[in-house]
Amino acid sequence: MTVSRVGPKWRRPAKAEESMTSRFPVPWRIVELPNGFAVEDATGKQIGLFYCWAPDSAGHTGIMTMDEARQMAADFARLPELLKQDETA
């Protein structure tokens, strides 16, 4: 007789966008920091941090430049909008 173990059952949200925006309300905004950028939800809670160094020292260290960190933060802040578009497609 074989006994199979079943782990905890996780319920996947019906719509990822609704689940995410209910926990982190939109709109998300980008806030500039001294060494990078933060993305905050509508309540001001930080949900993403993107650190960077000055352009002259960032390239050979593996740390993002200011422009790269800004672009990453902008892309991250657009996630709810992108998920909503994907859902309707």
pLDDT digits (tens, 9 = 90+) for 53-79: 876 665 566 788 899 999 999 999 999
Please say if the pLDDT value at position 15 is more than 60: no
* pLDDT tens per residue across span 34-58: 999 999 999 999 999 999 987 666 5
User: What token pair was written down for 15?
Assistant: 């719509």
Q: How far is CA 86 from each of CA 5, 11, 12, 46, rounded to the nearest angstrom?
A: 35, 21, 17, 25
Confidence of residue 87 (pLDDT cuts 50, 70, 90): confident
Q: What is the pLDDT of residue 26?
A: 93
Cβ proximity of 73 and 48 under 8 Å: yes
Q: Give the distance between the most distant pair of CA atoms in the chain.
A: 66
Q: Which residues pair with 33 in a beta bridge?
A: 36
The DSSP output letter for 14 is: S
On whether the CB atoms of residues 54 and 66 are closer than 8 A, the answer is yes
